[in-house]
């Protein structure tokens, strides 16, 4: 029987978390799914763990690579193999609500849309801090249509919607794939092309997705070269749409300017890390505001240390299917407007 949803899961050396991620997906209330695990030449026990799971559930299909080419290439291999009507993106170290796909599919019917995305709830060290989500206070109180201008979001202080893990109609995605020449920002680029090619996407006022934060996350820190690559991809994207409106071009220009901010900071951080203090001082002399950013980063680190002693919601990542409805309620209930 053809699957309704193809779950695309790229993996590289996530053996410590992979079983929990696969359990949460295979425990979905929507049974007609296929899970396409694209392993990117892992050197740990990832493939062996996946094979053990696949032996008990034929819906899991392993696409193993001999050479590591990055998450974009891994996801593209899974996309090429997908046969479901819908594509769901789930990372191999994350956990999803057991009814996530069902609830999101229902939302696509109600909203008559090509894609839906929910908020991401962060967790680390096996605990969830209440209210610690991607969207935070900007989470909508009702489903919201995401326009290209909204998604572009030039404000670096606003939530970066490229981190979302949407459910997308495969026919609307067509042959669009992730760019494989960048390490970060490939999600943002794909979703922007999806929208600019006429795809409709809505943002839901719930969180059905637990996003693991740890020091090995690619998004934890950006290298200056990664930011430069993001700027190049940003420019390529606009060049691909010569008929873009003046308003959209202005937004592209604003975001390009905004991307110069993290580039300057990451360059400074790289100089400090490499003990190139003369270069770091020149960075600050050229842009004194970088000193404020350094202080902000230090302050946030201190805050995170204090957060560890705040009230926390313990989770059990080894068997997320056993969570009670009360465990999930705090994550899934919409915020008050």
pLDDT for residue 84 is more than 70: yes
Q: Mean pLDDT over residues 46-67, rounded?
A: 97
- At 263, the pLDDT band (50, 70, 90 cuts) reads confident
Helices (H), 39-176: 46-54, 71-81, 100-111, 148-152, 170-173
DSSP character at residue 274 = T
Distance (Å, whole) CA 302 – CA 182: 31
Among the residue ranges 2-11, 14-23, 34-43, 305-314, the one predicted with the least confidence is 305-314
* CB distance 201 to 115 below 8 Å: yes
pLDDT for residue 311 is more than 90: no
Q: What is the pTM of this model?
A: 0.84
Q: How high is the pLDDT of residue 275?
A: 83
Question: Top-level CATH class of 5-219+314-332?
Answer: alpha beta
- At 159, the pLDDT band (50, 70, 90 cuts) reads confident
- At 219, the pLDDT band (50, 70, 90 cuts) reads very low
Q: How high is the pLDDT of residue 3?
A: 96
Cβ neighbours around 145 below 10 Å, total = 12
Axis-axis angle for helices 277-286, 289-307 (nearest 10): 110
CATH 3.90.550.10 domain position(s) in the chain: 5-219+314-332
């Amino acid at each position: 029987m053809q699957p309704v949803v193809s779950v695309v899961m790229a993996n590289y050396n996530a053996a410590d978390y992979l079983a929990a991620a696969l359990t949460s997906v295979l425990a979905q209330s929507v049974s007609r799914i296929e899970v396409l695990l694209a392993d990117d030449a892992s050197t740990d026990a990832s493939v062996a763990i996946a094979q053990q799971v696949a032996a008990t559930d034929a819906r899991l299909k392993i696409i193993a690579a001999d050479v590591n080419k990055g998450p974009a290439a891994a996801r593209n291999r899974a996309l090429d193999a997908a046969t479901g009507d819908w594509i769901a993106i789930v990372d191999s170290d994350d956990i999803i609500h057991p009814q996530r796909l069902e609830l999101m599919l229902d939302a696509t019917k109600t909203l008559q849309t090509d894609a839906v995305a929910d908020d991401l709830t962060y967790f680390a060290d096996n605990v969830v801090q209440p209210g610690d989500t991607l969207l935070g206070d900007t989470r909508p109180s009702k489903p919201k249509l995401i326009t290209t201008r909204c998604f572009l979001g030039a404000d670096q202080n606003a939530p970066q919607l490229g981190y979302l893990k949407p459910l997308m109609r495969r026919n609307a995605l067509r042959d669009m794939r992730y760019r494989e020449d960048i390490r970060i920002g490939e999600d943002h680029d794909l979703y922007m092309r999806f929208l600019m090619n006429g795809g409709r996407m809505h943002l839901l006022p719930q969180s059905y997705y637990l996003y693991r934060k740890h020091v090995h996350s690619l998004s934890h820190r950006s290298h200056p070269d990664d930011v430069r690559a993001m700027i190049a991809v940003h420019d390529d994207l606009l060049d691909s749409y010569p008929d873009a409106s003046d308003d959209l071009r202005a937004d592209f220009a604003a975001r390009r300017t905004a991307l110069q901010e993290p580039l300057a900071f990451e360059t400074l951080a790289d100089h400090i890390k490499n003990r190139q203090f003369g270069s770091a001082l020149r960075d600050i002399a050229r842009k004194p505001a970088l000193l404020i950013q350094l202080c902000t980063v230090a302050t946030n680190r201190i805050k995170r240390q204090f957060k560890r002693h705040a009230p926390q919601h313990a989770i059990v990542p080894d068997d997320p299917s056993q969570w009670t409805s009360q465990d999930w309620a705090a994550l899934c209930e919409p915020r008050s407007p």
